[in-house]
Amino acid sequence: MATAALETQLTTENKRVEEMLTTLTNGLPSRITSFMTAFLSKRDNAFPQVSVVIFDVVPVNLGNAYNATSGIFTTPVNGTYLFSMTIGNPTGKPGTIRMEKNQESIAYAFAGHTRGWDHGSQTIVVRMSVGDVMSVEGEVHVS
């Protein structure tokens, strides 16, 4: 797919996400202090060793808890947080992702081990304290 077409698709998706978030956040209690969504714009990102995934597209970062330079989410207030991640890889390009809370693995997903496109997802609810950090780490191929 041409670069211009990908940019158009990305812009369209960003607008769609922003519209959904506006709909979702209308009427939410004012105590919600952070809300973010992020993803990778490239289909295949090689990670020869386990590394923090730094998402290059961050259409929403309410509260600025996600640092787009380091790939780290730092908890702004004590509370219960919901984190979700998805990986989708083609046959022959297996990869894994895992959520790390304070540098300890708490969830993982993998994809690319079957025929065609393979997807893995994980959603987790976590009790977090101010200053706790959450990251997604990837290994091999991450899409």
Segment 117-139, tens digit of pLDDT: 777 778 999 999 999 999 988 87
How many whole angstroms separate alpha carbon 96 and alpha carbon 143? 10
pLDDT band at 4 (very low <50, low <70, confident <90, very high): confident
Segment 41-82, tens digit of pLDDT: 877 666 777 878 888 899 989 889 999 999 999 999 998 999
Average pLDDT over residues 100-118: 80
Query: Domain of 110?
Result: 3-142
Other Cβ atoms closer than 10 A to 36: 18
Answer yes or no: are the C-beta atoms of 136 and 107 closer than 8 Å.
no
pLDDT band at 26 (very low <50, low <70, confident <90, very high): low
**CATH number of residue 27's parent domain:** 2.60.120.40
Say what the pLDDT of residue 70 is. 95
Answer yes or no: are the C-beta atoms of 78 and 128 closer than 8 Å.
yes
Number of domains composing the chain: 1
Distance of CA 87 to the CA centre of its chain: 9
Sequence-ordered list of residues with C-beta below 8 angstroms from that of 119, at least 6 positions apart, any chain = 86, 87, 88, 111
pTM as predicted? 0.71
Give the residue with greater pLDDT, 13 vs 83.
83
